Amino acid sequence: MTVKDYQAILFDLFHTLTSIESTKAPGRPTSEILGFSSKDWNNQLVIHSEDRLRGKTKDPYEIIKKMAHAISPNVSDQAIREAIESRIKRFKYALENIEPSIIQTLGKLKAMGKLLGPVSYTHLRAHETVLD
């Protein structure tokens, strides 16, 4: 099958269409703000965050607090809130600075009459504002 055979195309929004890494989003990484290694934090994000990934928990504060306290219960409320604010800004930046070639490709698909569906499991609301 080719693109012409599909009416709609779904794609992962973050880490496929864009990412804070590919756009070099400014700001401190969540792991740094919380005082963890990036390895420990990424382990929480990928392996130990089922409720977040399934959409059962949507409140950014509760999500970050639960994951941070799973690594160290001593993480302060101030650090958690700073991490959330930084994450929102960095993800928003990633959405506002998508590579031009990706935007062009999406434009071509739309010109072909394809319905486009970005999919995201992020608990952050930055994507709602930017995609409107």
Copy the structure tokens of residue 28: 């401190």
Question: How confident is the model at residue 122, as a pLDDT?
Answer: 61
Mean pLDDT of 29-41: 96
* pLDDT tens, position by position, 3-28: 888 899 888 888 788 889 999 999 99
For 85, residues 6+ apart whose C-beta sits below 8 A from its C-beta are none
Question: How confident is the model at residue 132, as a pLDDT?
Answer: 42
Mean pLDDT of 30-39: 96
